[in-house]
A and B are shown apart, each in its own frame.
Chain A
C-alpha cells in the first residue's frame, strides 16, 4: 500500500469498528438481546477486516515517487577490475547506504 492508502485503511478500520459497535449496542439494548449486540458487532468486525486489511487496488492509487538513481554520478566505475571484485564492491556500497 502507498502512504495515502495506509492512512485510508487505518481510518476506515477505526470508523467502521466504532460505527458497528454503536449500532450493535443500541440495537441490542432496544430489542433486549445481548446476543443480537454480539452478532451485529461480530459481522461488523468481519466486514471491516475484508475492507481494510487486504491490499485492495484502491489503496494504491497514489504511487510512491522514488528518486532517480544518482549512484552513477557518485560512484564511478573502477577502471581496473576483475569480475569478482566488481560485484563485491557493488554489494558493499548498498550496505553503506
Chain B
C-alpha cells in the first residue's frame, strides 16, 4: 500500500470481487422463491385449416390466454419471457412443438394478464397429420434474472382437438 496507485488498484479489484460475490448470492436467493403461477387457455375459433401447396398442413386459431405469473418475480428478475406452444405426436416425430405466441413481461404489475389473439406464428405441420389431431397447449416461461441463473417451467393444458376436415 505504498502508493496512491497501489491502494487504488487494490481497492478496485477487491470491490469488484465482492460485487461478483453479491451477484452470486442474489442469484442463489432466487431458489428460496416458491412460485405458484396459474394459466388457462381457451381456443375460441379455428379460422381456417388448409393443406399448403408444399404438402404441409396449416391451421389458424383464435384463442384467449389468461394467466397470473406474478409469483415468478423476485428482486433479481429482469423480465419473464412467456410463450404458448402446441404439442402433439405424429408417426414421423414423437414430439412436435410449435410456438404459437410469445411475449415479454417486463414487471410484476404486467404479470397478471388476459389476451385475446390469433396465433402470432404459423401453426404448420411437417406433413399433413393434423386432421382430427389431439394436441396440448402448454404455456412456457423463462424467468430472466438481472444476474445469475435463469429458471424455466411450464403448465401443460390438454384436451384440444383439430377438426376432422379442412375448412
Contacts and interface: CB of A to CB of B under 8 A. Distances in A.
Q: Do A and B come from one complex?
A: yes
Interface of A: 1, 6-7, 9-10, 13-14, 17-18, 21, 24-25, 28-29, 32-34, 37, 41, 45, 48-49, 52-55
B15 A45 contact: yes
A17 B4 contact: no
Contacts of A14: 14
Contacts of B95: none
Contacts of B25: 25
Given A1-B2, A6-B2, A17 B146 contact: no
Given A10-B1, A29-B29, A32-B75, A49 B8 contact: yes
B115 interface: no
Interface of B: 1-2, 4, 7-8, 10-11, 14-15, 18-19, 21-22, 25-26, 29, 74-76, 146-147
The B interface is mostly helix, strand or loop, or mixed, namely helix
A25 B8 contact: no
Contact of A13 (B11, B74, B75, B147): B11
B147 to A, nearest CB: 8
B46 to A, nearest CB: 44
